[in-house]
Amino acid sequence: MLSMAVILFLGILSVYDIREKKLPLWLLLAGGTLLGGVSLLEKEPAAVLAGCVPGAVLLLTAAALPQSLGTGDGLITLAVGAAWGVTTCCRWLFLGFAFAAVVSLWKLLVRKEKGKEQIALVPFLFLAAIGECII
């Protein structure tokens, strides 16, 4: 049930990220609060907090290197980490970044696009979440 909520959350955010390359804060906070709250009902608070560590790392990265990653990506990872736990969250992030890397390489090598263009990360995280649920 919680995995379906994560996939729905990421699916909705993917549409925003593809269209506008930014995410609505109200939706991030509402979805994150809902996922975190349900997670606290199902898991120990220490496990939920540990799941938030990858998101905290991404938030620090976004603050230190603003052009590399968006704050929304860190907030999404906080919510998903709280729901899925640290191990699954790290595996999901790795898969999402791998998908994004493959598409970025294709854009650079095959389509000959310039390397300064930003890509929407959330759709790749959405695909990774679907993959995570299948595996």
Q: Write the pLDDT tens digit of every residue in 105-119.
A: 888 888 777 767 778
Nearest CA to 84 out of 124, 27, 121, 135 is that of 135
Whether residue 64 contacts residue 19, with contact meaning beta carbons closer than 8 Å, is answered with: no
From the CB of residue 114, how many other CB atoms can be counted at a distance below 10 Å? 7
What average pLDDT score do residues 22-27 get? 91
Q: Write the pLDDT tens digit of every residue in 60-100.
A: 999 998 888 888 999 999 999 999 999 999 999 999 999 99
User: For residue 77, which amino acid is it?
Assistant: T
Kindly tell me if the per-residue pLDDT of 49 is higher than 80.
Answer: yes
Element at 42 (helix H, strand E): helix 25-42
| pTM for this entry | 0.89
Share of the chain above pLDDT 90, in %: 66
* DSSP code per residue over 2-27: HHHHHHHHHHHHHHHHHHHSS--HHH
For the chain, give the mean pLDDT.
Answer: 90
**Helices (DSSP H) in 43-135: which residue ranges?**
45-51, 53-64, 71-84, 86-109, 122-134
From the CB of residue 20, how many other CB atoms can be counted at a distance below 10 Å? 10
pLDDT bin (cut points 50, 70, 90) of residue 11 is very high
